[in-house]
Structure 1
Amino acid sequence: MSKVSYYTPEGLKKLKAELDHLRDVERPKASQAIAEARDKGDLSENAEYDAAKEAQGLLEMKISKMEETVANARIIDESQLDTSKVLVLSTVKLKNQANKMEMKYTLVAESEANLKQGKISVNSPIGKGLLGKSVGDVAEVQVPNGVMKLEILDISRN
């Protein structure tokens, strides 16, 4: 069963560029490595050939998975999203009730997550805990060291 993934236009463009690179650059390199290893003689005792074939198999598997992801990708129309609830692409300002620290995260698709940029996956424990909540709600998120209580201060779109 294929899983639908939601992307921003820039995220999908990046994914397609990576897929094109794998197809157009990495695939020919893998074929070339196999050809060079094959030219070195007896295939039954040629570790270089075996390694090149295995690398090609892994590359083809990665390409196949990425093709499936691209085929099932949907672009999110940010203008149609409701800002009263936390959804994908919501930028959420939170307050940790335990230490009173404030933080700001944008919920994105798993492949676009980047904590340094403040982008967390909607599939992460915090992302799942925030989905559907409104301003003023307190999300109780199960994290490895217990339950984290996060108060939602603001929801916006960037």
Structure 2
Amino acid sequence: MKIEALLDELRQEFNKLEREFRQELPKKIQAARELGDLRENGEYETIKDRQGFVKARMAFLQQRIAEISKIDLRAIPKDRVALGSTVHLIDEETGTETVYTLVFPELMDSSRGWISVASPIGRSLIGKQEGDRVVMTTPGGTKAFEMMKLLTLHETLQGHSNGTGS
């Protein structure tokens, strides 16, 4: 999980939307106005709706960029599950291993095992340590796991394991 890469992606989307908002949409609105009566102009209404969406999305992106930029990596725990941690869980019932990495919601990709820190699974993992029992509520019911291995964001950034020998 690269914070700078995420910030770059969000900034690129913001810049694209800002260009659309400041350059393209005003031209489209002007062209629609020239077609006549605005009360019965579906194209005008569609463009105005798009303009509202773009403005709201830009505000959201500005807020997320500001929030993510403020994250102090020193405040992320080095000994328990937090943003950027990779956890290896063993299902107590089946013995099946599952690996999750906790990421920002924008990076969530369940096919890669990347889950949002804000998801129910992510919230059930936050603050846990190696060896802890983790109980999560899933759509299929409640499941219990043992956390066999924890690799924190700090360890990932340093390229080291957490000393468990695995």
Range class of TM-score, shorter chain: 0.7 to 0.9
Matching residue of 2:161: none
Task: Give 1:75 shift.
Answer: 3.8
Matching residue of 2:31: 36
Matching residue of 1:154: 149
How many aligned positions are there?
Answer: 151
Conserved 8 A contact 1:83-1:155: no
CA–CA distance in 1 between the matches of 2:27 and 2:111?
37
Q: Structure 2 unaligned runs (5+)?
A: 157-166
2:130 to 131, 135, 151: 135
Matching residue of 2:15: 20
Q: Which has the higher strand share?
A: 1
2:98 is paired with a residue of what secondary structure? strand
Conserved 8 A contact 2:21-2:55: no
Please report the RMSD computed on the Cα atoms of aligned residues, expressed in angstroms: 2.0
Larger RCO (alpha carbons 8 Å, 6+ apart): 1
Q: Which runs of 4+ in 1 moved over 6 A?
A: none
Q: Structure 1 unaligned runs (5+)?
A: 1-6
What amino acid maps onto 1:13 in structure 2? D
Task: Give 1:12 shift.
Answer: 1.6
Scaled by the length of structure 2, the TM-score of the pair is 0.81
Task: Give 1:26 shift.
Answer: 5.4
Identity value in percent: 30
Scaled by the length of structure 1, the TM-score of the pair is 0.84
Task: Give 1:60 shift.
Answer: 0.8
Counterparts of 1:67-82 in structure 2, within 5 Å, are 67-73=62-68, 74-77=70-73, 81-82=76-77
Counterparts of 1:82-101 in structure 2, within 5 Å, are 82-101=77-96
